[in-house]
Chains A and B, each alone.
Chain A
Amino acid sequence: MKKSLSIILVVVLVVGMGAFLSGCGQETEVEIVRIGDENGDWGYPTPHGHYLRGPGYLRMSFIFDTLIWKDENGFVSALAEDWEYDEEENCFIFELRDDVRWHDGEDFTAQDVAFTFDYLQKHPYPWANLDSVEKVELIDDYQVKVYLSQAHAPFLERVAGVMPILPEHIWAEVEEPAEFTGEEAVVGTGPYELLEYDQTQGSYHYAANQNYYGGEPIAEELMFVESSNPEMALQRGNINAAGVMAEAIPELEQQGFELITGNHFWAAKLMMNQHQEPFDQRKFRQALAYAIDREELVERGLRGYGIAGSQGLIAPESRWAAEDLPEYAYSPEKAKELIEELGYTMEDGIYTKGDQRLEFTLLSFEDRIPEIIKQNLAKVGIEIELRVLDTASLDARVDDWDFDLAMSGHGALGGDPMVLNQMILDDDPKSVRFEENQDLLDKLNQQLRIMDEDKRLEMVKEIQSIYAEEMPAVTLYYPEDYWAIDDTIDWFYTEGGVAIGIPLPLNKLSLIERDIN
């Protein structure tokens, strides 16, 4: 009798809890679209409130519209119905839509556009760098002229297509945009209005804007929810779409999910310290490119889910990619030849010149790929010691030129080729900061000023071949991402990536009935 007291207590507890819980976890709504995200929280969905990574921008973009936007084929109109470049005056003229209302019912006018330019000059928004803008002129209520300080080819993709337009009647009074929250802060013109943002649970809840000028949103409600195991959440029906691991594809396909994969706008690079022997020699850098089997990196390192790096850096499917670049096909013989031409001789399996032996430390944030590189390089008489660091420490050491070799990577490779300037010249640990070649420097500066797209493309291609020739870093591979989606919404990948190049299929236009023309 007494001995079972503890058992009874346990049973009571369990049963009590069970009774309390029965009936939990049932869903009845059908008009809700839920998107799973492993991180959950990306900040408050206003321009200054969201965290600076792509998913943060996306969550804001459902509420706020830009002048122009992109779909799977390129630019489409958004708040601006039409736009053109006036070469003589060096300005862009935007014809705005006259049927747009803010979520609070106020009319949208050119005044708001002019205000936004002004406001974001005062309160910089890292996603849209307005340095190129000289002044903004109102022609009438639905026409603005944006004068540039000098010709700036990336303007459409990096400013007009990215900068969210804010309502003047609300933001004019706001001094601390990052801390501005509440119902007013999320008044935009976009297809969705924010119902609730829950930072702790990492979730966003939107309702459709029935008056959206671009067409009626398909889903009544839209949610972003945190799911640490998106594959399971999909299978359980908790979410309708999420990025998933490639290994789960067969299983998910069997369950009726569509698997989409978009683009290769993120690249892994092998950075070399050109301030240090022997990486200051172009021949040696080229030798490394020959010595590393990039196909093997993809096959073994990425389990086939990716493509081998193109030495022009730009992803091969981008419209900006050069076609006939030097390939540097895997050839240890060629690599050895080049190293020997630099005066090195093999000693105990390692190339040596005087007291200099080809022994280097390779810094990386993971060890699978570097391990293969190490094996590759061992075959051409270069010995590698691996050091795995977290990305912060790694970036700091690369930033200080305190490294021999380092694995690094960055995105935005599908959008405007301005990324070449950023990744070759900018003072940023992801950038190669390569200034040896004057011709390359000149061409990089020029390409930003060529407003004619065809002419610019020619220049961009030349830049890529010089880059491939100089080899300031070996572009190793572009990994592939997968999204599993059910049949509620036809999510698509945006040409060049959403806005400045976010490589996710979460374009707000996926949620709008569009007449395909």
Chain B
Amino acid sequence: MRRVGLALVGIILIIAIFAPLIAPYTPTEYVGQSLLAPNSSYLLGTNDLGEDIFSRLLYGARTSVSIGFFTALLATFFSLLIGVTSALFAGVYDLFWMRLIDALLAIPTVLIIILIAAFFRVSLWGMIIILSLLSWQQGARVIRNQSKSLLKSNFILAAQGFGAGKLHITLKHLLSHLLPLLSVQLLMVFRRAVFLEAGMSFLGVGDPSLVSWGRMIRQALEYIYLGSWSWWLLPPGVLLTLTILGVVLLEYGRDSQRSI
């Protein structure tokens, strides 16, 4: 299963990275008559704006992957920072973060994200920042708990015993032991971010000029009547599903007993 996941994510990554090379047209370019059915020059036809759907599909992977990737990176960084420092400093500092995390976990983040994004009509980076700011809590708590028990265990105390660059060594040990946890965290945030970006673009919040699968699905829905959904709605739907599925399988493959 892990291999399938790896393959799926790999394919999406390749599409995202090489989109400009594979895509026959610029995604926002008016290439010809609008609402054409698939033909030899436009593999998936054109949309209502006369843009090449196939090219937009490929570029949509870029948006999804970059939002997923950077959000995962940023949110996991926050988790790590807050989790580890909470474990290290303990006391009021720890208490503050833990209470805040309790609070944030009780709040329905999807609602908040939609709202903030809608209010600010955010760009790609804005979206990444908002998603990151609301995706670190769970990870931070797990990392903090793990770090605490790691700090208690012997090997770190032993390292401290040598007195050489105390903090440096502590961190090094911590990090190496937190690595498996971090990779799960990365995958989870990635999946959630891809999912949420599609949803938000679908609702029409966020940057309207972003080429996004969610937005493609929304646009295609308005033209269901013309029967163009099979080449306009289905492909982004399938790619979105495959992306999320790929990550799910990777997550699952790490630990087959973990609940998802």
Chain A residues within 8 Å of B, Cβ to Cβ: 229, 231-232, 245, 247-248, 251, 300, 303, 366-368, 371-372, 386, 388-390, 393
Contacts and interface: CB of A to CB of B under 8 A. Distances in A.
Contact of A366 (B35, B50, B207, B208): B208
Given A388-B207, A388-B209, A367 B225 contact: no
Contacts of B238: none
Given A303-B34, A389-B121, A393-B121, A367 B226 contact: no
B172 to A, nearest CB: 46
B30 A372 contact: yes
A372 B50 CA distance: 12
B44 to A, nearest CB: 17
Please classify the interface of chain B as helix (H, G, I), strand (E, B), loop, or mixed, using the class held by over half of its residues: loop
Contacts of B209: 367, 386, 388
Contacts of A368: 30, 49
B225 A248 contact: yes
A391 to B, nearest CB: 11
Nearest to A230: B225
Given A366-B208, A388-B209, A390-B121, A232 B30 contact: no
Contacts of A386: 209
B35 A247 contact: yes
A184 to B, nearest CB: 40
B224 A232 contact: yes
Given A300-B30, A389-B121, 14 more contacts: A231-B225, A245-B223, A245-B225, A247-B35, A247-B48, A251-B226, A300-B50, A303-B48, A367-B209, A368-B30, A368-B49, A371-B28, A388-B208, A388-B209
Interface of B: 28, 30, 34-35, 48-50, 121, 207-209, 222-226
B30 A229 contact: no
A247 B208 contact: no
A148 B225 CA distance: 53
A251 B225 contact: yes
B115 to A, nearest CB: 14
Nearest to A375: B30
B143 to A, nearest CB: 38
A108 to B, nearest CB: 45
A251 B209 CA distance: 31
Nearest to A389: B121
Nearest to A244: B225
Given A247-B35, A300-B50, A303-B34, A229 B225 contact: yes
Contacts of B223: 245, 247
A248 B226 contact: yes
Nearest to B221: A229
A372 B29 CA distance: 10
Contacts of B28: 367, 371
A232 B225 contact: yes
A393 B207 CA distance: 13
A482 B208 CA distance: 26
A371 B30 contact: yes
A92 to B, nearest CB: 47
Nearest to B35: A247
Nearest to B51: A368
Contacts of A300: 30, 50
B113 to A, nearest CB: 18
Contacts of B35: 247
Top 6 closest pairs, chain A to chain B, by CB = A231-B225, A388-B208, A368-B49, A388-B209, A248-B225, A303-B34
A247 B30 contact: no
A245 to B, nearest CB: 8
Given A367-B209, A388-B207, A389-B121, A229 B224 contact: yes
A371 B50 CA distance: 12
Nearest to A387: B209
9 contacts: A232-B224, A245-B222, A251-B225, A303-B34, A303-B50, A367-B208, A388-B208, A388-B209, A390-B121
Contacts of A232: 224-225
Contacts of A366: 208
Contacts of A371: 28, 30
A389 B30 CA distance: 21
Contacts of B121: 389-390, 393
A371 B207 CA distance: 16
Nearest to B210: A388
A388 B28 CA distance: 14
Contacts of A231: 225
A251 B228 CA distance: 13
B121 to A, nearest CB: 6
Nearest to B29: A371
Nearest to A303: B34
Contacts of A247: 35, 48, 223, 226
Contacts of A245: 222-223, 225
Contacts of B224: 229, 232
